[in-house]
Structure 1
Amino acid sequence: MEQFYLAALQMVPGIGSSRIKALVDYFGSARQAWLADQGDLFLSKCLDNTVCNKLLGQRDKIDIHKLAELLTKKQIGLCCLLDKNYPILLRNIFNPPYVLYYRGTLSVNDKLVAIVGSRKTTTYGKNVAGMLAAALATAQVGIVSGAARGIDTAAHLGALEQGYTVAVLGSGVDISYPPENAKLLASIAERGVVLSEYAPGVIAHPGHFPARNRIINGLARGVIVVEAAEKSGALITADFALEEGRDVFAVPGGIFAGNSKGTNRLIKQGAKLVDSAMDILEEYGWETSQGKQAEPELSPEEQQVYSLLNYEKPIGIEEIVMKLNVLPATAAYIVLQLSLRGLTVEHSGQRYTCTAREGIK
């Protein structure tokens, strides 16, 4: 039950890792600290009066046994700072969360890279994030991101095609945020891990995301920024990474593209330019033989349609019909077959782009 007492302590506003450690050291266990009376808490000098009163107030609201039952019922695991399965790299950051809640399987190694970027992304950005994530996952590199709209979602989807991914939330792990990513988070929990320092039921809040970002970079060997405007949460993650001695990589973008102002500035400041997964694999000396993907086997008709598509500007069925002189039904059928194989992405108005994959096209 000690884990649940630690979780309860972390749920008290104003009690972070350093104060939990001080309380456990003084009282001998999280349980004893949680049950201590006001006088003993005051004498310990681990908490000021304000936080001490918050602890006493939370103690009246939280039933430890009901908390344990809730986590068990929702299949939510707990991992504490001193546990053997606590993520190795995260343990060594300046302010690691004392308790992590998770759904899925925690990674047992540090072969992890974060991919972050703008929520309001472009087709180019989503394609690059998915391509890098898929290629790295093929080389058995886990992908860490924040399950937000845009680049994060593309990175998780790319990783899920080939391997393992970690979603770090700014809410409880039982909360789907954004709501449209509920299915994605369920898939990640099955094949990777969804984790958070926030208790179940805690909703996402703007103030949670900077703290969430420190966990994203803390889990990973390096952070790849795919698209980021000049003022972007992804740049906050990059700043955290630099402070913790992590590597920062950036994908270049067009000089007129607002979403690439931040990434291009990172490159100017010394971030390593990345245009393929091989850049990451070579940086860390990781096995590269698995990083290549086979060319898709296409029929002559499929190859004709596929060759018309590009990675950035969507092309409509009408344009395919005109350029190849085929029936609309034929063009639609071929595009559908390509989509079912994950080779194309549909946009509004029956328009399509290629799904970028390293070594293909």
Structure 2
Amino acid sequence: MERDEWAAWLRLLLTPGVGRDTARRLLAAFGLPADIWKHSPSAWETVTSPRIARALQSEPPALADAIDRLRAWLNEDSDRHVITLADPRYPVSLLQTADPPLLLHVQGRQDALSHPQKLAVVGSRNPTPQGETNARQFARSLAESGLCVVSGLALGVDGAAHTGALEGGGLTLAVVGTGLDTVYPQRHAALARRIAASGALISEYLLGTPPLAANFPQRNRIIAGLSQGTLVVEAAVRSGSLITARLAAEQGRDVFAIPGSIHAPQSRGCHALIRQGAKLVESAQDILEDLHLSEPSQQNHEAALPTDEDGLLRAMGFDPIGLDALQARTGLDTAALQARLLELELDGQIGRLQGGLFQRTGQV
């Protein structure tokens, strides 16, 4: 876009009182943003309030800075793009939702937004070791089968899903809740660079937007809207992941959920979704079959695992368990049990939880 086009879209976005719904009404009535200001305030009042019509008469104070910031950001890298609601590159699946963003900032492969088969993988920011393993392995299998994995770059399940997709050699899209000149959480800066190199980072927020709590639930509608379906790996009963799942269901998209331990708070959201009609899945193949895709032949991951010589893994099961309970089940003395637990933890077979608990990390 040329500067005048940026100015028109940014002016609309920055005008006080003009939210996405009001902006869409103005666009529907008057055409492109540049055409809105060819009409009179009395014309604007036919689709909005007198207060907003007055606001539209003045340039927002932050407009000049926003234009300069956007131009500088785009000029720094040829893989940076701005895609508006009127752009033919705008993803059709997102355009068909009830609340599409007016403008998308994209860093990376903008063509990845139009990948025909995308699946959102979302879940807890504080997953169990099993949940994190599930997210990574499901995403890897889905990516190996040609799906583009969409998530939100958050800690926990989101980060594991992006990492798994990259390990599978596939595409992954990260929809973030900040401007694209900010990486949040900072711990994922290296992951964000990897995603931008082979997939794309996406944001509806203007450059300079910090990580505001209210923005993250809003970005979930984009995650759901870009995707054919949403897989919830782990989620508490009140979580942003359930917002994503609800939005996907409202849009007629598939919702999948992985069941977990009845004792784990992170599993209760998935169990609630399953009771409400989400499809219970135990493997990536379940999703691929539902989407009429096939999973490529893969190595038997379990064959590479260390042997469970003392039966400790079998004794653990898959629920969180404490040291005393493990001693009672195995009969091992404290020193031998702790040594074996450390060995299994270093091998990636178990994870250590808060409260002195351990949990097995099984394979998908």
TM-score using structure 1 length: 0.80
Letter of the structure 2 residue corresponding to residue 281 of structure 1:
L
Match in the other structure for 1:77 = 81
1:82 Cα deviation after fit: 2.9
* SS, match of residue 68 in structure 2: helix
Match in the other structure for 2:135 = 129
Letter of the structure 1 residue corresponding to residue 123 of structure 2:
G
Match in the other structure for 1:66 = 68
Match in the other structure for 1:263 = 270
Range that drifts further, 15-24 or 135-144: 15-24
Tell me, in whole angstroms, the C-alpha distance in 2 between the residues paired with 1:69 and 1:274: 45
Contact 1:344–1:355 (CA<8 Å) still a contact in 2?
A: yes
TM-score using structure 2 length: 0.79
Identity %: 34
Match in the other structure for 2:40 = 40
Cα separation, partners in 2 of 1:357 and 1:258, compared to 1, 3 Å: closer
1:149-188 equivalences in 2 (<5 Å) = 149-162=155-168, 163-188=170-195
Range that drifts further, 213-222 or 76-85: 76-85
Pair 1:95-2:102 in alignment: no
Contact 2:130–2:362 (CA<8 Å) still a contact in 1?
A: no
Cα separation, partners in 2 of 1:296 and 1:238, compared to 1, 3 Å: closer
| Structure 1 runs (4+) greater than 6 angstroms displaced | 302-305, 307-314, 343-348, 351-355
Cα separation, partners in 2 of 1:205 and 1:166, compared to 1, 3 Å: same
Pair 1:20-2:23 in alignment: yes
Match in the other structure for 1:104 = 108
1:142 Cα deviation after fit: 0.9
* SS, match of residue 143 in structure 1: strand
* SS, match of residue 177 in structure 1: coil
* SS, match of residue 40 in structure 2: helix
1:56 Cα deviation after fit: 4.9
1:352 Cα deviation after fit: 10
* SS, match of residue 60 in structure 2: helix
Contact 1:4–1:67 (CA<8 Å) still a contact in 2?
A: no
Tell me, in whole angstroms, the C-alpha distance in 1 between the residues paired with 2:24 and 2:273: 36
* SS, match of residue 59 in structure 1: coil
1:55 Cα deviation after fit: 4.2
1:66 Cα deviation after fit: 1.6
Cα separation, partners in 2 of 1:256 and 1:303, compared to 1, 3 Å: closer
Aligned partner (choices 109, 113, 119) of residue 119 of structure 2: 113
1:47 Cα deviation after fit: 3.4
1:28 Cα deviation after fit: 4.6
Unpaired runs of at least 5, structure 2? 322-332
Tell me, in whole angstroms, the C-alpha distance in 2 between the residues paired with 1:88 and 1:3: 22
Tell me, in whole angstroms, the C-alpha distance in 1 between the residues paired with 2:48 and 2:35: 15
Contact 1:4–1:68 (CA<8 Å) still a contact in 2?
A: no
1:241 Cα deviation after fit: 1.2
Pair 1:6-2:9 in alignment: yes
Match in the other structure for 1:145 = 151
Question: What value does the CA root-mean-square deviation take over the aligned residues?
Answer: 3.7
Match in the other structure for 2:293 = 286
* SS, match of residue 200 in structure 1: coil
Match in the other structure for 2:328 = none
Tell me, in whole angstroms, the C-alpha distance in 2 between the residues paired with 1:256 and 1:296: 26
1:29 Cα deviation after fit: 3.3
